[in-house]
Amino acid sequence: MRVLGVDPGLTRCGVGVVEGVAGRQLTMLGVGVVRTPADAELGQRLVAVEQGIEQWLDEYRPEFVAVERVFSQHNVRTVMGTAQASAVTMLCAARRGIPVALHTPSEVKAAVTGSGRADKAQVGAMVTRLLRLSAPPKPADAADALALAICHIWRAPAQNRLQQAVALHTAKAPKGRTA
């Protein structure tokens, strides 16, 4: 499975591609950041994010895109930019028919470090170890993007089985009754 992980942001949008399957060694294929100038007009910044994501999709041809689920933050401007970059990423994937999965920050941290309360340094250290890198990717947005891809690879099989079980249960439920 090849996954493009995206840590959305309007100024720095972390991107990373990981290939592998759950339970086996994972391989990093690429990591980086799509940057936009903070003083540029919003529309131009969104176009720059789109162009950057499209380049990553063209180059790495992922089977899935994993995006960090946007949560409310204290700074409304920050959360708006994050949500806009996230939407651009999902749009780019949808145009190509690539499935998108959203993962919460605590879900990603728990998958990679074992603790949903891990800090950025712990996430970076585990990403470095899991992918056999010589140093943590910089900036932290890049490491977070790789962590998203790893999380998706490890969690996708269980999520798929759960969805199949729910669909089977729903299909077997008597008419007029749902579980």
7 is in an annotated binding site: yes
Active site residue 141: yes
Q: Which one is catalytic: 50, 54, 141, 144? A: 141
Evaluate the CA torsion angle 144, 150, 155, 156 in order and state its sign: positive
Active site residue 59: no
144 is in an annotated binding site: no
Task: Tally the C-alpha atoms within 13 A of residue 37's C-alpha that lie toward its C-beta.
Answer: 4
Q: Which one is catalytic: 7, 54, 107, 144? A: 7
Q: How many CB atoms lie within 10 A of CB 76?
A: 9
Active site residue 68: yes
Q: Which one is catalytic: 68, 107, 119, 144? A: 68
Q: What are phi and psi of 66, to 5 degrees?
A: -110, 125
39 is in an annotated binding site: no
* Binding-site sequence positions: 7, 68, 141
Residues annotated as catalytic (active site), given as ranges? 7, 68, 141
* Binding-site sequence positions for Mg(2+): 7, 68, 141
